Amino acid sequence: MTRSARLSGPAADLLRTASERIVITGASGWIGRATLELLYNTLGAQPFAERVFAFGSTSRVIDFRAATIQQRPLPALLALPCQPTLVAHLAFLTKDKVAGMDEAEYRRLNKGLRHTVLEALDMIGATAAFVASSGAAELAAVPEASAAMRLYGALKKADEDAFAKWAVEHGQRVTIGRIFALSGPHINKPETYALASFIGDAIAGRPITIRADFPVYRSYVAIRELMSLVFATMLDETIDVLRFSTGGERLEMQEIAQVVSETVGPVRISRPTLKTGTLDEYVGNDAHYRQLLRKYGVDHVPFAEQVAETAASFEPKPHIKKRQTHA
């Protein structure tokens, strides 16, 4: 995603001419910063300043490359005047914090985030909301999943159910997106994401190291593509509760590393010999996701292009070669 990247599809034009206020919770996170940048580039400086409001854990200035915005503490959301509002709810204590926190405290804090936003929706005049869920919600009751993933998934599932109930009971709209793997700028913890780690290695000229000795499959979508779809659905007045999972090409880690090497810079790929009997697959429902993209006129960003856009946001800027993605 370049610094001038915008939301795409017919709904982007509708968003520019609409009057709804736009609220982003969890605005300083990866998706939050990318969404702020997309909105700034789509709406323009003055409408952005007038219509977009950012909330998070603390009061701070968020720098999202294109501009800055003042983030307010989440409880301040309750004080907004009532007017038609689109809410992108991205606030959540992420799964990397599960291991280092007491389970009861982790549950309490995430439940508090959920209740604060739900309490505010009617008070501020929310007409539609987006809940950034996770593919982990599908693993909440899977015994083979790790305890941390089951906990994370269960809390994401609780968010989904609570916001869906709000939409049904109050006659409003909610879009629930189970996110599997994303690409794009503003990655805040690149060492924890395989794609970002591979890109970092390629930029530095280091071999890309894949530690898994068994097949690992992932499917990536660009943040700009996802949020274009999200805002399109939030503006669709025929929706009550829409649930989807992110799609994208189903790629094995070796394929992902190969695309990074070919797109960012030619480096060696190191991996143990593959064994049989184990498979790690974490991919969404691509068929349904593509159907939604077509319905709302949002173009899919091929994986090689996602890699190039993600790498371009790293510092220092690498030389990026254009190529066609794998089908």
Confidence bin at 321 (pLDDT 50/70/90): very low
Length of the chain equals 327
* pLDDT computed for residue 277 by the predictor: 80
Q: Tell me what percent of the residues of the chain surpass a pLDDT of 90.
A: 83
Do the beta carbons of residue 286 and residue 248 sit within 8 Å?
A: yes
pTM of the complete model: 0.93
Mean pLDDT over residues 227-245, rounded?
Answer: 97
Do the beta carbons of residue 183 and residue 222 sit within 8 Å?
A: yes
* pLDDT computed for residue 319 by the predictor: 45
Left (φ > 0), alpha (ψ -120 to 50) or beta: where does 126 sit?
A: beta
* pLDDT computed for residue 98 by the predictor: 62
Mean pLDDT over residues 117-138, rounded?
Answer: 97
Task: Supply the angle between the helices 10-17 and 223-234 in degrees, to the nearest 10.
Answer: 60
Residue with tokens 């991919």: 283
* pLDDT computed for residue 188 by the predictor: 81
Do the beta carbons of residue 265 and residue 319 sit within 8 Å?
A: yes
**Structure confidence by residue, pLDDT tens digits, 70-114:** 999 999 999 999 999 999 999 998 867 666 778 899 999 999 999
- Report CA 289 to chain centroid distance, whole Å: 14
Do the beta carbons of residue 7 and residue 39 sit within 8 Å?
A: yes
Q: How many CB atoms lie within 10 A of CB 208?
A: 24
* pLDDT computed for residue 244 by the predictor: 98
Residue type, 57: S
Four-way CATH pick for 14-179: 3.40.50.11290, 3.30.10.20, 3.40.50.720, 3.20.20.80: 3.40.50.720
Q: Which of 71, 75, 76 is nearest to 54 (CA)?
A: 71
* pLDDT computed for residue 10 by the predictor: 93
Task: Supply the angle between the helices 253-263 and 194-204 in degrees, to the nearest 10.
Answer: 40
Give buried/exposed letters for 259-280 (b at 16+ CB in 10 A, else e). bbbebbbebebeeeeeeeeeee
**Structure confidence by residue, pLDDT tens digits, 138-177:** 999 899 888 889 999 999 999 999 999 999 999 999 999 9
Left (φ > 0), alpha (ψ -120 to 50) or beta: where does 40 sit?
A: alpha
Q: Which of 92, 85, 94, 44 is nearest to 66 (CA)?
A: 44
Do the beta carbons of residue 223 and residue 305 sit within 8 Å?
A: no
Dihedral sign of CA atoms 274, 138, 94, 152 in order:
negative
Confidence bin at 324 (pLDDT 50/70/90): very low
**Structure confidence by residue, pLDDT tens digits, 200-210:** 999 999 999 99
- pLDDT exceeds 80 at position 256: yes
* pLDDT computed for residue 315 by the predictor: 64
Q: Please name the helix (run of DSSP H) or strand (run of DSSP E) that holds residue 21, with its range, or none.
A: strand 21-25
* pLDDT computed for residue 323 by the predictor: 36
Domain residue extents for the chain: 14-179
Mean pLDDT over residues 50-58, rounded?
Answer: 97
* pLDDT computed for residue 80 by the predictor: 98
Give the pairing type, strands 68-73 and 60-63.
Answer: antiparallel
One-character DSSP codes across 159-203: HHHHHHHHHHHHT-EEEEEEE-EEESS--S-GGGSHHHHHHHHHH
